[in-house]
């Protein structure tokens, strides 16, 4: 276990809440998840960012966006650039499986979004993961490897390196809203594969947190956080439920405490 990595719980509200309801929900989640050692992030819809940020003032819960555009500015009707989010968010999800599926986003486009996050000072959560068909054909690891390698190559082609504060979320797409479940061992194996790709690309893989994101609930989170290679979770539907988030963060706090104790013991 690398105890230096932070434990992160990021909630992705997707296309839920309104400016009238988001602030209250964010404040209630912040109050219910006061757990030492856990980095908490709420990724709300764009239109709710200001309300969420204002509601979280005075707490240590951070605010994230769910996406950024791949360009700095231009004739892209309805889109939001990274620079527009400065002062509203500190994080952004990039390459979420739903955007890859619904908007046809590929690894090259995702790489451009990472660069935009770098320019705007946003901390990116890069999502990678395989479809059911790819897993059944034994191509889960090669799919994720390909996604990462292509993203890294494009970021470097643009003259940049991956952000030092990058977070990677492994999303087994086949386990999201399907009733099928991934195991902690599945996620751990993929986290190890992710770090292998990073190491082969001369990136300090041990410093980069890897989250699990696949229909995360308070009942299931224990299995994933028991894995030393998993550093938290990207939470979808459960992040809209105060009790669920309280349970997930409480369990994450146990992981954070164990890692802190291990660090102290090794000193």
Which residues are marked as active site?
Answer: 96, 171
Q: Which of 82, 76, 86 is nearest to 94 (CA)?
A: 82
- Which residue in the block uniquely carries the two structure tokens 């650039």? 81
Give, for 263, the enclosing helix (H) or strand (E): helix 242-266
- Decide: helix, strand or coil at residue 16: coil
- 107 Cβ neighbours under 8 A, 6+ residues apart: 95, 146, 147, 150, 151, 154
Token pair belonging to 31 = 């109050």
Token pair belonging to 98 = 């739903």
- CA 189/CA 186 separation, integer angstroms: 5
Return the percent helix, strand and coil in the chain, to nearest 5: 50, 15, 40
- 87 Cβ neighbours under 8 A, 6+ residues apart: none
Check if the beta carbon of residue 148 is closer than 8 Å to that of residue 129.
no
Check if the beta carbon of residue 23 is closer than 8 Å to that of residue 44.
no
- CA 27/CA 194 separation, integer angstroms: 34
Token pair belonging to 191 = 């986290």
């Amino acid at each position: 276990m690398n105890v230096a990595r932070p434990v992160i719980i990021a909630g992705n509200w997707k296309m839920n809440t309104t400016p009238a309801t988001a602030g209250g929900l964010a404040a209630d989640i912040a109050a219910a998840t006061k757990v030492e050692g856990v980095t908490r992030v709420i990724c709300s819809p764009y239109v709710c960012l200001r309300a969420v940020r204002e509601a979280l003032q005075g707490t240590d819960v951070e605010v994230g966006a769910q996406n950024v555009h791949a360009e700095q500015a231009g004739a892209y009707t309805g889109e939001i650039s990274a620079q527009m989010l400065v002062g509203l968010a500190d994080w952004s999800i990039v390459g979420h499986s739903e955007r890859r599926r619904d908007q046809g986003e590929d690894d090259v486009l995702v790489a451009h979004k990472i660069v935009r996050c770098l320019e705007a000072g946003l901390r990116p959560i890069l999502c990678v993961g395989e479809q059911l068909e790819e897993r059944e054909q034994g191509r889960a690891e090669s799919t994720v490897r390909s996604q990462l390698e292509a993203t890294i190559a494009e970021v470097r082609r643009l003259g940049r390196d991956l952000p030092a504060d990058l977070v990677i979320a492994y999303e087994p797409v086949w386990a999201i809203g399907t009733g099928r479940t991934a195991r902690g061992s599945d996620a751990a194996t993929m986290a190890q594969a992710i770090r292998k790709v990073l190491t082969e690309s001369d990136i300090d893989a041990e410093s980069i947190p890897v989250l699990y994101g696949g229909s995360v609930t308070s009942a299931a989170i224990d299995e994933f956080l028991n894995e030393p290679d998993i550093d938290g979770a990207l939470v979808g539907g459960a992040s809209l439920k105060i009790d669920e988030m309280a349970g997930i963060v409480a369990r994450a706090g146990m992981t954070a405490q164990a890692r802190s104790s291990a660090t102290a013991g090794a000193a």
